Structure 1
Amino acid sequence: MVERVVTLEGASNVRDLGGLTTTDGRHTRYGLLYRSDSPSELTENDVRALVEARGLRHIVDLRSLEEVERDGPGPLQRAGLTYANHWMSSDPGVGQVVPEIMRGNLSGHYLGYLGSGSERVVAAARLLADPDNHPALVHCAAGKDRTGTLVAILLDAVGVRREEIVADYALTDANMEAVFARVVRRLEAAGGPVPTMTQDLPNEARRARAETMVEFLDQLTTVFGGGTGWLLAHDFPDTELERFRSVFLTD
């Protein structure tokens, strides 16, 4: 059996998006799309495991411009992979804590990504859906919120069963302690104060609960008609979506 979880030395929340079942009984293919927390601390062994062993070609970075400037794009870009930054923010000020987070309303926060920054979400989705970019990796800082939102939209759009999208998101929960430790370490290494965001977030915002993704998918369906509806309504070509399905799903 192919393992979905990818164990690396310098990242704590990496997995292959293959092996998920669609509503019509097909499966997502292994080795095409990966999701992760920040790859800024990847070791030489990690880079070899991803680039030489898995053939990784493209990176889609959802972090803010400030995060990229502070931590750098990471060793994968230095290894020559194609890199694109399409930052996702749930409010007008990139990196600011929005009220939904402080209330612990993560599903509302995730919907916020699909507002004023929708063109960047679509641009990132198109890169990930393009077979010419596979294998590709999408990441943010923790691999939970921004990455979780975009991954959920893409998986829903190709017909992955809701319970499997939810279960994939919830796998992050067990990794959050290690992920937050890495985030704090990078902030401290940058020489600045650790922002209140990492210290005073409500416990709910530090979790990747299945209920959060259930709520988000319900809202995505009610408001936009699901991942397919949202993508098509935001100028994601249907031909590209069909091409993605044909490549990403087994017959």
Structure 2
Amino acid sequence: MPPTRPPYPAELAISVKTNYCRDDMLGVKNFRDVGNSLNQILGSEIFKSSVLYRSGALDEISTRDNLLQLKTIVNLRREKDPDFRNIRLLQVAPLDTMNNYIFESEIFKEWIQRLYNTLADETIWPSLLHCTSGKDRTGVGIALLLKNIGISDDMIVKEYMLGDYGNRYPESMTHLLGEMPKFEHLKMKESQIHTLKRVLLQK
């Protein structure tokens, strides 16, 4: 079956991408400041900028200048990252394949809880989350993070569409978000939500 037509105009993704998807600067797939991207989508300064970044693998990075403000890189792959001076490297990879992101699998439950515990540590911010292409594990992790702190499904899907993949398959993210309420382990603890709202959202 061919992919369904994106529910949002492609012009939106192009407009935001021009300003905030800076893979041309870094040589890294799907690099962007999530807060800046969401602020432009919303037309309002709701999120803090320069706090949460996302991307694909950093192996071919062309310049490290834009990483200087980071405290931590959270690697969702099993492969190691290159070393970056004065940046903490954390690896939060699944112990095995993710079984196509079947939420009820024990592998997924264990992985998402480790990720939530990592993100709720205030000492890691500002941070970059990445996997290989910046769309699968990173897409799931960012989407669940945003959903837990109260961001609407509509906004999460629009942010996902900014990558070089999302405009083709927005229905996959819509399905993921629709499934989330069915699984208690996808919900963060109240203390984690409180911490992440303080870290990521404007007062």
Give TM-score, length-normalised by structure 2: 0.77
Structure 1 pair 31/110, CA: closer, same or farther in 2 (3 Å)?
Answer: same
Contact 2:101 2:108 in 1 (8 A): no
Structure 2 residue identity aligned to 1:224: F
Deviations 1:172-216 (A, max 9, x none): 2x3x5xxxxxxxxxxxxxxxxxxxxxxxxxxxxx98511111111
Is the partner of 1:241 in helix, strand or coil?
helix
Residue 94 in structure 1 maps to residue 97 in structure 2? yes
Which of the pair has more CA radius of gyration? Answer: 1
Match of residue 107 from structure 2 = 116
Match of residue 39 from structure 1 = 58
Match of residue 210 from structure 1 = 170
Is the partner of 1:18 in helix, strand or coil?
helix
Deviation at 1:63, TM superposition (A): 0.7
Is the partner of 1:247 in helix, strand or coil?
helix
**Structure 1: unaligned runs, 5 residues or longer:** 99-108, 177-205
Q: Determine which of 136, 140, 148 is the counterpart of 2:139.
A: 148
Match of residue 57 from structure 1 = 71
By percentage of residues, which structure has more helix? Answer: 1
Is the partner of 1:250 in helix, strand or coil?
coil
Contact 1:37 1:140 in 2 (8 A): yes
Is the partner of 2:151 in helix, strand or coil?
coil
Count of aligned pairs between the two proteins: 183
Match of residue 156 from structure 2 = 165
Match of residue 28 from structure 2 = 11
1:156 & 1:61 partners in 2: Cα distance? 21
Structure 1 pair 208/27, CA: closer, same or farther in 2 (3 Å)?
Answer: farther
Deviation at 1:29, TM superposition (A): 1.3
Q: Percent identity?
A: 25
Is the partner of 2:123 in helix, strand or coil?
helix
Match of residue 73 from structure 1 = 81
Match of residue 219 from structure 1 = 179
1:113 & 1:78 partners in 2: Cα distance? 36
Match of residue 203 from structure 1 = none
2:105 & 2:33 partners in 1: Cα distance? 24
RMSD (Å) for aligned C-alpha atoms: 3.0
**Structure 2: unaligned runs, 5 residues or longer:** 1-15
Contact 1:60 1:124 in 2 (8 A): no
Give TM-score, length-normalised by structure 1: 0.63
Is the partner of 1:167 in helix, strand or coil?
helix
